Amino acid sequence: MSFEGFVSAGLQLGLGAIPNKIVRGIYTIKKPDGTFLPDIIPDVTIEEKHHTRMEVTDHPVEQGDLVSDHAFMHPVEITVHLGWSNSPNKTGLVNQLISVAALNPVAGQLMNAANLASGVSSMLSGSGSGQMMDVYDQLLALQEQRATFDLFTGLRTYENTVCKSIEVHTDFKTANSLMVTMICQQLIVVKTQTVAVAKDKASNPAANASSVANGVKRLSPAVTAVTR
């Protein structure tokens, strides 16, 4: 098959699958100060693990079996195995293939063959050497700044999630790629409210009554008792 034939077949197979692709990734990354970080979208999602757990409280009694009187859900924990490559992403082969298909679906009449060949060469040589380091820095910032985010997976979308751990393994097979295992946990956020209770309504006002402003107090010097 000629070069044009390979390109035509690749366009038919690759572009046909794009509409069915689930856009997994990390979105709406919000720092504690209210500012946002850029979204982080992996080149590939290799594995996803969803861990939900319920806790049942048990209380032993003097005689007899354990008594279980309460149950509550633990925060959901998600483990994702993500991958990035040093190959060009937005300016590389994929976009050039799409551009060629838009211009002319007939491979024999490619208008951008030179740029397409350049993109293929760049992908094979891994010329985008800074992409892995940029992504890794983004992941570290996501964790170090305790940012919350929305995690899009194939099963569910988890809102208000944080990154608990990041593990990266590199060997001679993955020298030009970034393989990351992230453990994320969904936060359970509650709102608290302080209510002032009148002294006459409190069971023990001296211990649990609301604080009262009595103005500025001056400290008195400590007096040591002398025993003779």
Instruction: pLDDT band for 110, please (50, 70, 90 cuts).
Output: very low
pLDDT tens-digit map of 50-101 = 999 999 988 888 777 888 888 989 999 999 999 998 765 444 444 444 454 4
Q: How far apart are CA 221 and CA 218, in angstroms?
A: 10
Contact 83, 166 (CB under 8 A): no
Q: Which domains does the chain have, with CATH numbers?
A: 15-86+129-186 (2.40.30)
Predicted local confidence at residue 206, as pLDDT: 67
Of the pLDDT bands very low, low, confident and very high (cuts 50, 70, 90), residue 219 is confident
Extract the tokens encoding 71: 């149950």
CA-closest candidate to residue 155, choices 52, 22, 39, 19: 22
Tell me the mean pLDDT in the region 204-210: 67
Nearest to 30 by CA among 141, 167, 192, 190: 141
pLDDT at 108 over 60: no
The crossing angle, in degrees rounded to 10, of helices 3-17 and 93-103 is 100
Counting runs of H as helices and runs of E as strands, what totals does the chain give?
5, 9
Please give the helix or strand (H or E) that residue 39 lies within, else none. Answer: none
Indicate the burial class of 214 (C-beta count within 10 angstroms; 0-12, 13-18, 19 or more): exposed
Question: 96 — phi, psi (to 5°)?
Answer: -70, -35
What is the pLDDT at residue 201? 67
Q: Which two tokens stand for residue 115?
A: 């740029």
pLDDT for residue 13 is more than 70: no
Q: Distance between CA 68 and CA 71 in Å, rounded?
A: 8
For residues 88 and 111, give the distance between their C-alpha atoms in angstroms, rounded to a whole number. Answer: 21
Per-residue pLDDT tens over the stretch 149-182: 999 999 999 999 999 999 998 888 878 889 999 9
Beta bridge partners of 56: 71
